Amino acid sequence: MDPKYHALLDPVYLDYALEVERTSASSNGDISVQRQNYNDSWRRHEPPLPETLRHEDFTVIARDQGEIPIRCYYNDSPTTNPRLTVYLHGGGWVLGNLDSHDAICADISRNCASHVVAVDYRLAPENPFPTPLYDCIDAIKALLDTPEKYRLDYQSVVLSGDSAGANMAAASCLNGVLEPLRIDGLMMIYPGLGASDNLASFRENEFAPILPYQALKAFFLAYIGGDENNTTPLTSPLLAGDVSSIPPCYISAANHDPLRDDAIEFARKLETQAIPCIVSLEENLGHGYLRVRHHSDAAGEAFRNCCQAVLQMHERCFPTKISAG
């Protein structure tokens, strides 16, 4: 991490980022060690699930007959508009699982009075594109086609995710891949959406905390099978010429993140087709801020704003204004 960030970042987030930096140095590029470090880190920072939260695991069969584990978090709040929020976890397509984002999904369920379903898509590099994305799409379609199989009842659907998961949430909405099934909103937290590193945020945040440029590039290459030319709108939604199938969108972008300008450029692309999109720029935070949402006022406020946007999408009262940063 560039020392300049010590004076720029929220102090709680900075402490977390320094801890991640120390543990990351021990991996030496070994994916199994990276995964273990990642799991150890979230376990130190995430609270246990509330005992009162009902949840159940299921398996969806993928188009290639592989198995896709999903976890349903049931919200029992009385409502005339039962809601479903699908969450796709981050981790650079290489890290993460159902457990790593357990508490995040539980918080979304509580804050949005919504059922939440997390998708445990297969990871790269063992399973490069398109397998992780197809797993997400197949799971979403199963939830929307046969909700009773998963003990779900809902009248509105919002797709959501962070980082790599946000990328696939956006890609799932492109070109009507989920039509004619209605998606009411898309909420993304520090998404990676482009195939180009020419944006200013990549230069400004080359040595950013949590996700420096070299790590970002390594993750994306793992996802696309190691071939820099293997990019399409489905790997990089910023490449899409037609974004008319994207629903109303809320993006939380961290200021000190190489991916910051991906969010801003995507919002501008939506603006050209009059699709409501709000970008919230989290000034003193970097990539991965979700992990300190219970300890950092800045991260907590950013997360609450994300949940408020999801709630508005479910209630179909999301602001129609467009803000591209």
Catalogue the active-site residues: 163, 257, 287
Instruction: Kindly give the pairing relationship between strand 249-256 and strand 185-189.
Output: parallel
Question: What span, in angstroms and rounded, lies between the C-alpha atoms of 208 and 133?
Answer: 27
- What sign has the CA pseudo-torsion 279, 159, 232, 127? positive
- Around 57, how many Cα atoms within 13 Å sit in the side-chain half-sphere? 8
Question: What span, in angstroms and rounded, lies between the C-alpha atoms of 304 and 310?
Answer: 10
Q: Classify residue 310 as exposed, middle or buried by CB count within 10 Å of its CB (0-12, 13-18, 19+).
A: buried
Question: What span, in angstroms and rounded, lies between the C-alpha atoms of 302 and 249?
Answer: 15
Q: Which amino acid is at 305?
A: N
Read off the tokens for 16.
Answer: 């977390």
Question: What span, in angstroms and rounded, lies between the C-alpha atoms of 261 and 1?
Answer: 19
Contact in structure between 122 and 131 (CB atoms under 8 Å): yes
Question: What span, in angstroms and rounded, lies between the C-alpha atoms of 268 and 46?
Answer: 34
CA angle 231, 232, 235 (to 5 degrees): 75
* Inter-CA distances, 119 with 142, 161, 260, Å: 11, 10, 25
Question: What span, in angstroms and rounded, lies between the C-alpha atoms of 23 and 242?
Answer: 41
State yes or no: cis peptide before 130, omega within 30 of 0.
yes
